[in-house]
């Protein structure tokens, strides 16, 4: 009954007649690996894969299948299906947090290892590119004498035109962000 509700089915019969809806491409490939494991006389098979509910929502499962040791055919197979969607989300969140910590550590090392501002800013912009998943990023420094933001370093740009950037406070998104002291 738990498996029936996990797949948002009304009965075991409905679920069994809807396997083509439930299986994703990943699940079909996993099923093939499962069959090959049994063909090769492996009594236990376990894997993580993606399935769909009958309403089309994808979720992650841990599939464990076992054959009793004295079985001569496949008439008795033990199958366990566990919804691990929340666990996978938590793992992904932890992975992202570790990546963020690694980025902070790289910036920290750059700051403590070098007194050269340009080197520290290069590390900072490279980490920003990686962590934010953007194609390009630049750092503009404020010059209090001219009241402008001037290009200091950047990464990922197709041309060098960005290196000539000089913005007044309030001009463009970067100038507005600096003037208003908030993310634009």
Q: Tens-digit pLDDT profile for the chain (184 aa)? A: 788 999 999 998 999 898 889 999 999 999 899 989 888 888 899 999 999 999 999 999 999 988 777 766 666 778 889 999 999 999 999 998 998 888 888 888 888 887 788 888 988 898 888 888 899 999 999 999 999 999 999 999 999 999 999 999 999 999 999 999 999 9
Confidence at residue 72, expressed as pLDDT on a 0 to 100 scale: 67
SS3 63: strand
CA angle 168, 173, 174 (to 5 degrees): 60
Return the pLDDT at 19.
Answer: 86
State the pTM of this model.
0.57
pLDDT at 7: 93
What integer pLDDT is reported at residue 3 of this predicted model?
A: 87
Q: 162 is written with which tokens? A: 């960005």
Q: Are the C-beta atoms of residues 61 and 84 closer than 8 Å to each other?
A: yes
pLDDT for 71 equals 62
- Nearest CA-CA partner of 43 in 72, 19, 14: 72
């Amino acid at each position: 009954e738990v498996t029936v509700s996990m797949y948002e089915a009304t009965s075991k019969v409905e679920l069994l007649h809807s396997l083509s809806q439930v299986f994703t491409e990943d699940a079909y490939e996993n099923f093939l690996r499962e069959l090959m494991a049994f063909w090769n006389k492996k009594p236990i098979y376990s894997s993580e894969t993606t399935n769909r509910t009958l309403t089309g929502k994808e979720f992650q499962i841990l599939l464990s299948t076992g054959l009793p040791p004295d079985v001569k055919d496949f008439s008795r197979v033990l199958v366990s299906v566990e919804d691990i969607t929340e666990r996978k989300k938590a793992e992904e969140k932890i992975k992202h947090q570790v990546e963020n910590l690694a980025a902070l550590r790289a910036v920290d090392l750059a700051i403590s290892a070098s007194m050269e501002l340009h080197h520290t800013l290069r590390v900072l912009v490279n980490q920003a590119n990686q962590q934010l998943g953007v194609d390009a990023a630049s750092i503009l420094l404020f010059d209090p004498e001219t009241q402008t933001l001037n290009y200091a370093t950047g990464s990922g740009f197709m041309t060098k035109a960005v290196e000539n950037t000089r913005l007044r406070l309030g001009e463009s998104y970067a100038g507005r962000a600096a003037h208003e002291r908030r993310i634009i």
